[in-house]
């Protein structure tokens, strides 16, 4: 079987390349040929050629976001899945695809119509992938300005540091319009971009914030799709549909709905949430931090962690920075914890696990948690269990201590830009020690001859198509 495919995750950093490696590794073991293109944070790498696409038996799209150039695969058998799906039982998954190709049928494989949860997730993740660079760039400017100019930097108008801080402040104002436009684009392509930007700006204007922007995005996207399907125009005007008619009508309809119907209830809910978070004290703060932290530490960049990250990012955009600090701290704890455990108890790690640890730590200091996934797949109970305990404790303490962070990513390198850098560093260290000690005590001793083929287990087990969509089979 000849396989080509594309991998793309939300941030375009870790999952994109881990999945590529797993697919290619599993294919080699099964005797298949496999070439994977990545669409990561630095753009398209190892781009597939038209000849490779034409000769392929199947196209695998392991993607969490909308990708470029998907029309290249028109008419070819396409299998869609999340990056999370592609990393689990990769060999068995490839065998399921071969079975479907061989039998020329799709028993139990359905292309569902309508609004699916997986589709909603993909659209939101696409929006987040567009949003992250803005939040990072703007957040760094704000953090640098605050670190140098202090809490009263906003009053130092005309100074160089004020210009830096103000640049970041203005940049943050683009977050909601951009995520709205990106989600709308993911749903309905280019005609939805302009209305998305406008509706995102309206969401900011009427104080519906991050959540309001997401709601507006879906309103715009599906309005465009509805109009595409049912709006009939003369042939002489068809060229105007994507550049004039669709953007104008969508903006008109959705703008009115946002102002008159949707905006006020959403703004009320957002305001109530903000007041509740601001009013949290003591034990309540600890519980919130523990929940966000535990979620970040349970699946190492997976859907649960991304949900917590989305929550923290939304609050950051709305001017609440505590949960963002929790996210930063707890995303770095698992790589630090497994590294410390390895140092303490090397005899409890296989050769493959040792190699995984070497990759996990440098990724971890950059806040890329996915390097822990191979270890978690090998020993899920102990790795995930110790991680959740450590991240929950550190997350709760981070909230109670009033640590704030203004940037969504950056790892150790942006700790100096937080409001309490020494305390933040101490929380990462504390969480790492807790996880490292628990994991060291909990983990079983293994022999040097033990080996682990991460993600390849159950190659010969029962095939499953759950979480996969087959097209043109």
- Whole-angstrom Cα distance, residue 336 to residue 353? 15
HSE-CB at 360 with a 13 A cutoff on CA atoms is 28
- Whole-angstrom Cα distance, residue 349 to residue 279? 45
The pLDDT tens digits for 98-143 are 888 877 554 444 444 444 667 787 898 888 888 888 888 888 888 8
The pLDDT tens digits for 30-67 are 999 999 999 988 889 999 999 999 999 999 999 988 89
- Whole-angstrom Cα distance, residue 165 to residue 160? 9
Q: Which of 9, 34, 296, 331 is catalytic?
A: 9
- Note the pLDDT of residue 167: 93
Is the model's pLDDT at 377 over the cut of 90? no
Residue 15, Cβ neighbours under 10 Å: how many? Answer: 28
- On whether the CB atoms of residues 393 and 431 are closer than 8 A, the answer is yes
Residue 438: both structure tokens together:
């628990």
- Note the pLDDT of residue 155: 86
Counting every residue, how long is the chain?
A: 473
- Whole-angstrom Cα distance, residue 470 to residue 473? 7
- Whole-angstrom Cα distance, residue 28 to residue 33? 7
Nearest to 87 by CA among 15, 178, 171, 11: 15
- Whole-angstrom Cα distance, residue 407 to residue 430? 21
Q: Once rounded to an integer, what is the mean pLDDT over residues 297-305?
A: 83
The CA-atom distances, in angstroms, between 348 and each of 60, 378, 389, 450 are: 36, 12, 20, 10
Helix (H, G, I), strand (E, B) or coil at 471: strand
Residue 262: both structure tokens together:
């949707």
- Note the pLDDT of residue 109: 47
- Note the pLDDT of residue 452: 42
- Note the pLDDT of residue 101: 82
Is the model's pLDDT at 456 over the cut of 80? no
CATH number belonging to the domain at 2-111, selected among 3.40.30.10, 2.60.40.10, 3.40.50.2300, 2.40.420.20: 3.40.50.2300
Q: At what angle do helices 282-296 and 303-317 cross, to 10 degrees?
A: 130
The rounded mean pLDDT for the chain is: 86
Q: What is the DSSP letter of 260?
A: I
The pLDDT tens digits for 304-361 are 887 888 888 888 877 888 999 999 999 999 999 999 999 999 888 887 788 788 878 8
- Whole-angstrom Cα distance, residue 208 to residue 272? 11
Beta bridge partners of 135: none
Specify whether 9 is catalytic. yes
Domain layout of the chain by residue ranges: 2-111, 117-268, 282-442
Say which residue the tokens 């399921």 belong to: 96
Is the model's pLDDT at 450 over the cut of 60? no
- Note the pLDDT of residue 453: 46
Residue 289, Cβ neighbours under 10 Å: how many? Answer: 30
The pLDDT tens digits for 383-437 are 999 999 999 999 999 999 999 988 877 788 888 888 899 999 999 999 999 999 9
Nearest to 126 by CA among 23, 216, 213, 12: 12
- Whole-angstrom Cα distance, residue 258 to residue 339? 49
Q: Once rounded to an integer, what is the mean pLDDT over residues 253-269?
A: 93
The answer to whether the Cα torsion of 69, 75, 77, 80 is positive or negative is positive
The CA-atom distances, in angstroms, between 379 and each of 225, 302, 334, 344, 349 are: 45, 17, 14, 17, 10
Is the model's pLDDT at 460 over the cut of 50? no
């Amino acid at each position: 079987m000849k396989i080509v495919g594309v991998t793309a995750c939300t941030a375009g950093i870790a999952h994109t390349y881990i999945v590529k490696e797993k697919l290619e590794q599993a294919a080699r073991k099964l005797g298949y040929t496999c070439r994977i293109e990545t669409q990561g944070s630095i753009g398209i790498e190892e781009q597939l050629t038209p000849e490779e696409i034409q000769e392929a038996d199947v196209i695998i799209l392991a993607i969490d976001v909308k990708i470029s150039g998907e029309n290249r695969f028109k008419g070819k058998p396409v299998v869609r899945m999340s990056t999370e799906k592609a990393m689990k039982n990769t060999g068995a998954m490839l065998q399921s695809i071969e079975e479907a190709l061989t039998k020329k049928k799709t028993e139990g494989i359905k292309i569902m119509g309508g609004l699916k949860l997986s589709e909603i997730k993909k659209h939101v993740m696409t929006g987040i992938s567009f949003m992250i660079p803005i939040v990072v760039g703007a957040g760094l400017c704000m953090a640098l300005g605050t670190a140098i100019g202090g809490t009263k930097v906003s009053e130092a108008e005309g100074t160089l540091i004020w210009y830096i801080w103000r640049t970041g402040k203005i940049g943050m104002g683009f977050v909601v319009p951009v995520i709205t436009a990106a989600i709308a684009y993911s749903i309905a392509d280019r005609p939805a971009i302009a209305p998305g930007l406008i509706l995102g700006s309206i969401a900011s204007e009427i104080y519906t914030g991050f959540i309001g922007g997401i709601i507006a995005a879906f309103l715009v996207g599906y309005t465009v799709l509805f109009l595409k399907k049912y709006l009939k125009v003369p042939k002489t005007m068809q060229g105007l549909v994507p550049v004039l008619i669709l953007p104008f009508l969508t903006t008109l309809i959705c703008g009115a709905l946002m102002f008159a119907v949707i905006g006020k209830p959403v703004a009320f809910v957002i305001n109530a949430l903000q007041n509740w978070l601001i009013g949290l004290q003591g034990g309540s703060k600890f519980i919130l931090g523990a929940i966000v932290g535990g979620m970040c530490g349970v699946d190492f960049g997976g859907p649960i962690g991304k949900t917590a990250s989305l929550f923290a990012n939304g609050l950051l955009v709305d001017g609440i920075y505590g949960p963002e600090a929790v996210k930063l701290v707890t995303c770095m704890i698992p790589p630090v914890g497994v590294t410390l455990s390895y140092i303490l108890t090397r005899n409890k790690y296989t050769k493959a696990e040792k190699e995984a640890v070497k990759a996990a730590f440098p990724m971890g200091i950059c806040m890329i948690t996915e390097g822990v996934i191979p270890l978690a797949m090998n020993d899920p109970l102990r790795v995930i269990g110790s991680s959740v305990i450590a991240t929950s404790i550190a997350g709760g303490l981070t909230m109670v201590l009033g640590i704030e962070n203004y940037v969504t990513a950056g790892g150790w390198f942006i700790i100096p830009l937080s409001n309490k850098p020494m305390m933040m560093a101490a929380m990462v260290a504390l969480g790492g020690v807790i996880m490292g000690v628990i994991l060291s005590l909990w983990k079983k001793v293994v022999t040097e001859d033990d080996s682990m083929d991460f993600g390849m287990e159950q190659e010969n087990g029962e095939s499953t198509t759950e979480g996969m969509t087959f097209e043109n089979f």
